[in-house]
Amino acid sequence: MRLIKKVFSQIKEDIQTIYEKDPAAENILEVLFCYPGLHALIMHRIAHKLNYWKIPLIPRAISNISRFFTGIEIHPQARIGRRFFIDHGMGVVIGATTIIGDDVLLYQGVTLGGTGNEHGKRHPTLGSNIVVGAGAKVLGNIEIGNNSRIGAGSVVIDDVPENSTVIGVPGRVVKQKLMIQGQLMHNRIPDPVTCQLNRLKYEMADVKEKIEEMRKGGN
């Protein structure tokens, strides 16, 4: 009875999370029947618990069924915190040794994967209050600090400190908080490559100016 009460409490919290993070959510029936991220999360929690009880085969079978119906693959061993939300969700893959904190938001096409066939901890650890943009790949046994944001299409293979924004391939940390009410502003993330090229352009202009001054002085 206590376990059932806990399960329904989690589902209620997950539904509330969808209302808070997705402005398109209009009513409870729509959320219950039309959000594959919610379906995948509920099935994962069942599979995770069965895996914790050392029940063979069934957890992986539930994971495969979930992938078939939702397009989201979550390994039963993955540890996921509270108020987790997968928006849209198609193509999301979460590896076996992944650890996800509270208040994490993933968009479609995200991979939390490994980089080889090594044993032990081989998938990323995400802190709390993290947003991972569409198509981003977070690979290997790395840590993503709390309150960080990973831009769409980024490939992250190194640790990310807290309160950071990461973009690019490979992912580069941008020391700016481009947030409005907790949401990552994808269209306002600066490009570090462009910033560096602009810096080089100004330095070259300064060097040319000094060379010209030296040339005139020599004459």
Which residues in 62-74 are b (16+ Cβ under 10 Å) and which e? bbeebbeebbbbb
Average pLDDT over residues 177-200: 61
> What pLDDT score does 191 carry?
62
80 forms beta bridges with 100
- Nearest C-alpha neighbor of 66 from the set 56, 57, 76: 76
Q: 166: which 2 tokens?
A: 């990461």
Instruction: Give yes or no for residue 181 having a pLDDT over 60.
Output: no
Instruction: Give yes or no for residue 213 having a pLDDT over 90.
Output: no
Q: What is the mean pLDDT of the chain?
A: 87
Instruction: Give yes or no: residues 208 and 107 share one domain.
Output: no
Instruction: Give yes or no: residues 183 and 216 share one domain.
Output: no
Average pLDDT over residues 91-109: 95
| Interstrand relation of 125-126 and 99-100 (parallel, antiparallel or unpaired) | parallel
Instruction: Give yes or no: residues 71 and 156 share one domain.
Output: yes
> What pLDDT score does 123 carry?
95
> What pLDDT score does 217 carry?
73
Average pLDDT over residues 84-112: 94
> What pLDDT score does 206 carry?
82
Instruction: Give yes or no: residues 60 and 49 share one domain.
Output: yes
Instruction: Give yes or no: residues 164 and 209 share one domain.
Output: no
Instruction: Determine phi and psi for 199, rounding to 5 degrees.
Output: -60, -45
pLDDT digits (tens, 9 = 90+) for 47-85: 999 999 999 999 999 999 999 999 999 999 999 999 999
| Interstrand relation of 183-184 and 179-180 (parallel, antiparallel or unpaired) | antiparallel
Instruction: Give yes or no: residues 206 and 109 share one domain.
Output: no
Cβ atoms within 10 Å of 164's Cβ, excluding its own: 21
pTM of the model as a whole: 0.78
Instruction: Give yes or no: residues 20 and 97 share one domain.
Output: yes
Instruction: Give yes or no: residues 103 and 201 share one domain.
Output: no
- CB contact at 8 A, 153 and 166: no
Return the C-alpha torsion angle 25, 27, 32, 38, nearest 10.
20
Q: 34: which 2 tokens?
A: 């039309």
Distance CA 74, CA 92 (A): 8
Query: What pLDDT band is residue 183 in, cutting at 50, 70 and 90?
Result: low
Query: What pLDDT band is residue 210 in, cutting at 50, 70 and 90?
Result: confident
Instruction: Give yes or no: residues 92 and 57 share one domain.
Output: yes
- CB contact at 8 A, 137 and 170: no
Instruction: Give yes or no for residue 146 having a pLDDT over 90.
Output: yes
pLDDT digits (tens, 9 = 90+) for 15-38: 899 988 888 888 888 888 999 999
Distance CA 94, CA 91 (A): 10
Give the residue with greater pLDDT, 58 vs 175. 58
Length of the chain: 219
- Nearest C-alpha neighbor of 114 from the set 151, 74, 152, 141: 141
Write the CATH number for 26: 2.160.10.10
Instruction: Give yes or no: residues 164 and 215 share one domain.
Output: no
Distance CA 156, CA 169 (A): 7
Instruction: Give yes or no for residue 144 having a pLDDT over 80.
Output: yes
Domain count, the chain: 2
Instruction: Give yes or no: residues 183 and 215 share one domain.
Output: no
Residue-number span of the structural domain to which 213 is assigned: 190-219
